[in-house]
Structure 1
Amino acid sequence: NALLLLAGACGFLCTLYRDRSVAPWSLAVLWSAAFVLLKLFFYRRFFLHFDFFLLPFAAYGVVLLWKRSSHVFWHVLLVLLILGQSYLSYNVFLLRTPDIDEGMFAIVESVESADLPADAFVVTLENKSTTWLRGWLPNHRVAGPGLFSYTWPFQDWELFLYGLEGPVYLLLTPLFFEYYGEFAQKFVEDPCFQRLENTSLLKVTCT
């Protein structure tokens, strides 16, 4: 991202000089940069925002550099830099994969065909499938392990699972069984859970 950063900084400064004011998009760059440079709350997440908001300024910066450098050497150098950055970005793209495999995604996808009630509450049992299920079931309530953990005693977890309004379903995934091992099987065999046929869902029957 070196080219994006340099060209973006150039375009950003030139835009400020040209407009003599700070537009909302410029504020977004400054806001993201502040989180990254000062390492504020969850600052690593703002690298993506920073890159995104710099893109139009980077394009503007590249155009300015192209127009102001009339010599063919600088044009060739700029093209080579863009090609080099594209090559590096493509290699990184090949290394990045989704955080769930095809099998787990198929399980998440199959929940849609389970014909759940409109007021159903679907709870995942590990932190990988939760966000995927949330996106796949936009009209249902979805919950699962996330960023913060609660050290609840067993009685509080019972109150949570059995006290929710509407039917409650638990999503079983290979990661759940892999992580909890023999305890996962004991959990599934609890008499308060009923396995739905041809699905990876457990229905909570105790209230």
Structure 2
Amino acid sequence: MKFKLLMALACCFFITCSASGQHLFYPVMVIKKAPEGAFSFTKKWSYPEGVIKYENGKFEKTDGEKLEAADTAHLYFTANCKTNIQGGYTIKYCSATRKRRNISLNFSGGMPAYANEFHLALKNNTFNFDPRVVYPELIMDEKIIYKVTGCKLIIYQKNYAVANNISGYIKARFTEIIQNSKKGTQTNKYYFEGYFKTPVN
């Protein structure tokens, strides 16, 4: 038990200290009308991660725990974004929170295979992009940093800072720089892009 706790703490330290990105600010573009069909993904949904529904209609949790009412809820998609990280996958969820007039967007989805998150902070019609990549293996003598090389954010609400919902398009390019004391420096070029539409809490 102590070993598991120590490993969990080590992983958290690795993620927050080694996988840190730049905090460059870019202008937010506001456009009144989105492309037709851009948000068709909001009609689709899935069950919570780790919940299986069989053909006979019965549900089961993969961890063996007891089913709760929330486990059979329909989780409607709030994003349709793609990335080429770790072979590439689709990010289907975006959450938005507001503090005063500042908006935070967090993109996630793909567990248990992918635990990565992508964060945007909107303030005074500018934003920054922060990729938070999580690797399953901890390498002690390795340092990872992320350099954002290009970013564009389009919002489809004129007064998005006070709106109840926020929708838009994000396109980001960034470089992963891996510094290893034995293997030297390795770089990987990644992207994150797609549409999102979500309530603001």
Work out whether the TM-score is over 0.5: no
Range of TM-score over shorter length: under 0.3
Larger of the two Rg values belongs to structure: 1
- TM value normalised by structure 2: 0.21
Q: Which has the higher helix share?
A: 1
Q: Which has the higher strand share?
A: 2
Q: Which has the higher contact order (CA 8 A, sep 6+)?
A: 2
